[in-house]
Amino acid sequence: MATQQLPPSGAKTPAKLVATRGRAEAKEARSGRLFVAPFLIMFTVVFLIPMIVAIRQSFFTKKAAGGGLFGGGEAVDVFVGLENYAAVVTDTRFWAGIGRVVGYAAFQIPVMILMALALALVLDSFLTRHVTIYRLGFFLPYAVPGIVAAMVWMYMYTPEISPIVKGLSALGLDVNFMGENMILLSMANMTTWTFTGYNMLIFLAALQAIPHDLYEAARLDGATGFQVTTKIKVPMVRGAALLTVLLSIIGTIQLFNEPTVMATVNPWMGNDYTPMMMAYNTMLGQISPGGDGPASAISIVMALIAGGLAVVYALLQRKKD
């Protein structure tokens, strides 16, 4: 972290010394900036400029210039103030989408995080051998691209070919994974399948960083294995839990791949099932009002909601400590 200054070589007068140090500092600053510059330029192109453009665009809408008899003519950007935002926040489709995503997250994130934590605790205990096999096996779904995972599960939900549906119906249970009441759960399963192993590895890494002296001390004090787990291990991985939940909230707000794949066989889901789908289809003009302005406004409102949720969660977590 701290960069040390070169010790002045040889005896120098204080004035000379300051000058040398000043020059060395300037050189150091220049080199530092040069090394960080390529990334910063790319970061500006990919993060900052689009954000600024999105904020600007969100105040504009494409409208026909209106010269022609039928209101035709060249489409031009017209400043509309907060009209796009008003359209988003009063749009019931948007809030329905937010509602689905929030409901989905409220169920899926706890299930996934608790499962990941439980698996990590078991693998970190003396309960099992062959930890490597489980670790790899649980993590393997993460190597499957989200869109491919969604396609695979979608086929596995399709009644005619699904071994699960067939198996369940042989047991007398008829489950329609694509039904309106089930589809959020079905998609939650896709996400859980893909990301549990990833989160488990984060927990496992945090568990392995706990100094083992703590366990020994607890043992000497007469703690059982269960107490070591609940009183030492779980509290010590709170930082990792915060990280995984925050990443999951950020991931969920962008929910797009799974519903997009599911919508190809379930047309009733429409093109605005989640806010991200709505933003995408608004951009393409498949939802009215469409185009840059309204799509930017949706993205910005979503970013604000995501940021708000993340901040609220982080604050709640901090208050507990």
Partner 1 sequence: MTSALVDEAASTSGQVTRVSKKNRLLNGKPYRPSVDGIPTKSMMPSTTARTLTLVVLVGVLIYFLAPIFWVLVSASKSNSELISSSGFWFADIQYAQNYAKLLEWTQGDFWRWVINSVFYSTTAGVVGTLISVAAGYSLAKFRFRERGATLGFIMAGMLMPVALLTIPLYIVFNSVGLTNTIWAVLIPSCVSPFGVFLGRVYAESSVPTELLEAARLDGASEARIFFTVVLRLLAPAMVTIFLFIFVGTWNNFLLPLMMLNDSSLKPVTLGLYGMMSYFNPQKGAVMLGALLSVLPLIILFLGLQRYWQSGLAAGAVKS
d(CA 219, CA 240): 25
For the purposes of burial, counting CB atoms within 10 Å of the CB of 122, is it exposed (0-12), middle (13-18) or buried (19 or more)?
middle
Q: Which tokens sit at 31?
A: 């080199």
For 198-220, b/e burial (b = at least 16 CB within 10 A) is bbbbbbbebbeeeeeeebeebee
221-280 positions binding partner 1, by CB under 8 A: 225, 239-240, 243, 246, 250-251, 253-254, 256-257, 260-261, 264, 276, 279-280
Write out the binding residues for partner 1, residues 193-232 only, by CB under 8 A.
193, 196-198, 201-203, 205-206, 208-209, 212, 219, 225
Segment lying near partner 1 (by CB under 8 A), choices 61-69, 90-98, 115-123, 176-184: 115-123
Applying CB under 8 A, the span of 61-69, 90-98, 177-185, 301-309 interacting with partner 1 comes to: 301-309
Say which residue the tokens 């090394």 belong to.
35
Q: In 3D, which of 305, 271, 248 has the Cα closest to residue 108?
A: 248
Q: Interface with partner 1 by CB under 8 A: which range of 73-81, 83-91, 97-105, 153-161?
A: 153-161
- In the complex, the smallest distance separating the C-beta of residue 82 from partner 1, rounded to whole angstroms, is 18
Cβ nearer to partner 1, comparing 30 with 71: 30
Measured CA to CA, the distance from residue 143 to residue 175 in angstroms comes to 29
Rounded least distance, CB 76 to partner 1, Å? 14
Helix%, strand%, coil% for the chain, nearest 5:
70, 5, 25
Query: How is residue 172 annotated by DSSP?
Result: T
Q: Which of 64, 78, 111, 156 binds partner 1 (CB under 8 A)?
A: 156
Span 133-152, contacts to partner 1 by CB under 8 A: 133-134, 136-149, 151-152
- If you count them, how many residues does the chain have? 321
User: For residues 3-62, which are near partner 1 according to CB under 8 A?
Assistant: 3-4, 6, 25, 28-36, 38-40, 42-43, 45-47, 49-51, 53-54, 57
Q: Provide the CA 59 distance to its chain's centre, in angstroms.
A: 27
Where in 68-172 does DSSP place strands (E)?
75-79
Is residue 186 a contact point for partner 1 (CB under 8 A)?
Answer: no
**Coil, helix or strand at residue 272:** coil
Q: Which of 222, 244, 223, 248 is nearest to 120 (CA)?
A: 244
> Please, what is the minimum distance in Å from the beta carbon of residue 243 to partner 1?
6
Give CA–CA dist 186/273, Å, rounded.
Answer: 14
Q: How far is the CB of 276 from partner 1 (least distance, A)?
A: 6
Least Å distance between CB 291 and partner 1? 10
CA distance 63 to 53: 18
Binding of residue 88 to partner 1 (CB under 8 A): no
Nearest CB to partner 1, comparing residues 86 and 209: 209
Residue nearer to partner 1 on the CB measure, 53 or 66: 53
Nearer to partner 1, 42 or 185 (CB): 42
Interaction between residue 191 and partner 1 (CB under 8 A): no
| Cβ nearer to partner 1, comparing 16 with 33 | 33
